[in-house]
Each structure stands twice: as C-alpha cells, then as structure tokens.
Structure 1
Amino acid sequence: MNFSVIIPMYNSENTITKTLDSVKEQTAYDRILEIIVVNDGSTDNSLNIVKEYILYNDDLPIILIDKINGGVSSARNAGMRISRGEWIALLDSDDEWLSNKIEIQLKTIEKNPDIDFLGGNSNGLSLRIIFKKIDNLYKASVKDLCLKSFPVTPAAVFRRRIIDEIGYFDEEQKYAEDGNYFLKICTYYNYYHLPVQMVNCGGGKPSFGYSGLSANLKGMYEGNVKNIQDLRKDSILSLNFYLFLRIFFWSKYIRRIIISKLR
C-alpha cells in the first residue's frame, strides 16, 4: 500500500517548507510514493522556495507542477490526475502532519480493509457530531457529514480508484468544495473517522472567520447549502431532513457571525 501526497500551493512562502518537512519526517515515509506540489499561480516566492527545497532534498520524490491560478480544487485535481499511488493523501500548504499520521492510517486500514476513506482529528480537537463524541473508529453516514463537516482536508486519505469512479473536485465551487467531494465519497463508499490527532492546520488559527476561504462566512454558508441541495436533488436526503438542515445551517451561520465579531 502506498500514498500519493497532493499539496496545492498558493502564496505559501512562509509555510510550505514546514509542510514539506512534515511529510519528510513521517515514520512511514517509505510508503509515500510521490509528493505532488501544485503551484497554483503564486505571486510570492513559493515556487522558488520549493525548487530550492527539491535541490537540497534530491532524494525526495517531489513532483512540482506550475500552473496558472485556478483555485484550490483546480490545483488538487491537477495533482490527482497524475497521481500513481494506491491511496491519495491530501495536505494543504499551510498545514503540518504529525510525524506518525500516515503510519496510524496505514495500520488502521490494514486492520480494517473495508475502509475506503479515513480521516482523523486536528488541532487538538475531538470530533463531536451534535452531542455525540466520537471515541473509536467510526463509520460515518451522509447525515453525520451534513450535521458536522469532517475531517479537515489534510487529515483525509482515500483510495485512488475513487477518482476514476466519481471524478474530481468541482472546480466551479469555491466554498465548501471539500465537503461536497467528501459527501460524494460518503454516499457510495465506506467512510471512516479515527479519533486520533493527525494534523495541525493553519498554525492553529480559528477554523472560521480568520483567513483564507473560510473567512468568507457567507460563501461557506452558501456552499454548504449547495451541497445539501445536490443531495436532495439526487434523493439522498429526505425532504424533512433537508428542511431541518436549512434551518440548522442558517442558525450556525448567524452564530459564527456573532462569534467572529466578538473576537
């Protein structure tokens, strides 16, 4: 079993070295087939930093793609299209894996070969779905993901064959695009969560209302609504649960606005 690591990069000159170091320092590094860094039209020094990193780490299987800016989904897709690993491991250019992340997921999959997708905890936080705390390996349902979007993208690994069967990230969707893709996976495959810390995201900054795409709370709200509309259109969600989610998402949106203003 081996992994293709996909790292979309945009203006990450201050973080990309630590991100790559976190891959290099994996205890199961020998299972990493390739590290695909996709420069998505950065306007800072990110591209040159990665080129220099490759020179000083010429034993690492880093593949560098340089493309015009198209957004994070476009960058992930570019990396996924050329990937050769049996499993895809996603990582963002301002995040860092804990050193045993791949080893933990590898051992979990080997013990549970029905797993198609596996996520984990991040930033020292536990997973709760409404009032239910996830304490053990957990098989998630589409309803679970509607109530609580998880895991964070850089904690996710999934089988490469899934791409061939359901396609790629929606490059037209700018917000909650990872949630959209993960919901598709959960609909048709065995989607599991392991409640073990695996990644530190964005230097520990708040998960919303701070920077990056998640700073646009309205966009995130509209993206999440679009995701459940797609599910309802395909009759995956009942009408009653869909209507409940519309109220639930609106309430969460208002709550996040209030929290962001109080920070």
Structure 2
Amino acid sequence: MELKKYVEKYLNDERVIYHKVLHGGISRALNAGISLVTAEYIARQDSDDEWMPWHLDFLLNELEQNDKLDIIGSKVDADRNKLQGGIKRNNFNNLSGEELWFKLAYKNMFNHSTVIYKKSAVEEAGGYDPECDGFEDWHLWACMVTKDNALVMNTLTAYYGLPEEDNKGMIFRSRLAKSRGLRLEDVLE
C-alpha cells in the first residue's frame, strides 16, 4: 500500500506533514524527514512496530528530567503478548555512561523503534550517513553517544514487528534457547 493512503486519515492534524521523497535509501529519507521537524525531540517508529500507550510520556519524562541526555531508548520485544499490563520497570539494569558507550562499539544497544532523541544532537552528529544504509541507526548512535548523554532503560515499552521470515527465525532461536535452559533475551543480547 502506498504510504499516502495509510496516512491520509492523519493529514487533518496540523502536526502531521506528508512529504514524498524519491527513493534514495533509508538514510536520505530519514534526513529529509529530520529537516522538516520543528520540535525539539524526534521519535522514530516503523509501521509494524507498536508502542505501549505510555511509551512517549515515560521516555520523555526521563529525557526532560536529565538535561545531559540527548538520546534515550528502552527495551523492545518481538512477542506482542508481553505488551499486556502495566509498566514493569527495573532501574537497576538501565544502561548508560561508560558501559553503554563501550558496548555500543560492539553492538547496537538501541532499538530504533524505542528511541527518542534531540533534533539538535542528530544535526550535530551529521545526521544519518547514506553510506551506512543497513546499519544507519547504529552508526548514528555511535556518532551521537558520549559517556554521559545517553540512556537505554530496562523497561519494555514497544513491540517490534518482524517480517515473516525473521519471525520464523526467532521462533527457532527461541526454541533452541529454551532447549538449553536459556531465555531468548539472553541469546539475543
């Protein structure tokens, strides 16, 4: 389905702008979108991802309480059923500071569908690099994150929709993990 048909019902909302960009890769499209943003913060989401109703309030509250933060994210799960219920917050296992900065060199610690960042920080980092399509988010986070400006909260706030072939792979990985006495989350980390 063409995107315009999907968003037409939102076009009466003055906060929504529809801007068609010729296909030139995900990074160019994201940079075009960022250039149109007039707000201080940007939250990114794919059409097959779902946020818990309190996702934005929860992360924005944390972001606004700490002036040093430029980027914040949370946990995500591929199991839609885990989105039921209230906040299951665990402050003791949040990832930030030097530990996050170090781990980011080896693994993408943020899931793009949970991230909220300051527009100014993205612009200062140079935006998305078109040469990095495929790992554009990870590259941007690595350019943005210093030792004290980022936080990944250990709180599940989103469901990450997987294409059918990835979902089958996740089911296999989940069964394999269980057969070895592990949780899928442990295998994926």
TM-score normalised by length of structure 2: 0.71
1:156 aligned to which of 115, 118, 141: 115
Structure holding more strand per residue? 1
Change in 2 beyond 3 A, CA 1:188/1:181: farther
1:165 to 2:124 alignment: yes
The reply on whether 1:137 has 2:91 as its aligned counterpart is no
How many pairs were matched up? Answer: 156
**Correspondence for 1:54:** 10
Query: 1:151 Cα shift?
Result: 1.3
Label 1:142 to 1:160 Cα distance change in 2 as closer, same or farther (>3 A).
same
- Aligned partner of 1:86 in structure 2 is 40
| Separation of aligned partners in 1, 2:153 and 2:7 | 31
Mark the CA change 1:116 to 1:50 in structure 2 (over 3 Å): closer, same or farther.
same
**Residues 1-263 of structure 1: pairs in structure 2 closer than 5 A:** 13=1, 45-51=2-8, 53-54=9-10, 58-59=12-13, 61-123=15-77, 135-140=92-97, 141-187=100-146, 190-202=149-161, 204=162, 210=166
| Alignment gaps of 5+ in structure 1 | 1-12, 14-44, 126-132, 212-263
SS in 2 for 1:64: coil
Displacement of 1:73? 1.1
Counterparts of 2:69 and 2:28, CA distance in 1? 26
TM-score scaled by length of structure 1: 0.53
Deviations 1:104-162 (A, max 9, x none): 0122123322211101000168xxxxxxx984433143321123312110111111211
Q: Which residue of 2 aligns with 1:7?
A: none
Post-superposition shift, 1:62?
1.1
Instruction: After superposing the two structures, state which structure 1 stretch, 151-160 or 181-190, moved more.
Output: 181-190
RMSD: 2.7
**Is the CA contact (8 Å cut-off) linking 2:114 and 2:157 kept in structure 1?**
yes
- Give the residue type in structure 1 aligned to 2:7: V
Runs of 4 or more off by more than 4 Å in structure 1?
none
Residue type at the aligned position of 1:191? A
Structure 1 residues 100 and 134: alpha-carbon distance in aligned structure 2, compared to 1, 3 A threshold: closer
- What is the rounded CA distance, in whole Å, between the counterparts of 1:163 and 1:49 in structure 2? 27
CA distance in 2, matches of 1:171, 1:187: 22
Decide whether aligned partners of structure 1 residues 187 and 109 sit closer, same or farther in structure 2, where only a CA change above 3 A counts: closer
Within 2, Cα distance between the matches of 1:77 and 1:145?
22
Q: Secondary structure at the match of 1:172?
A: helix
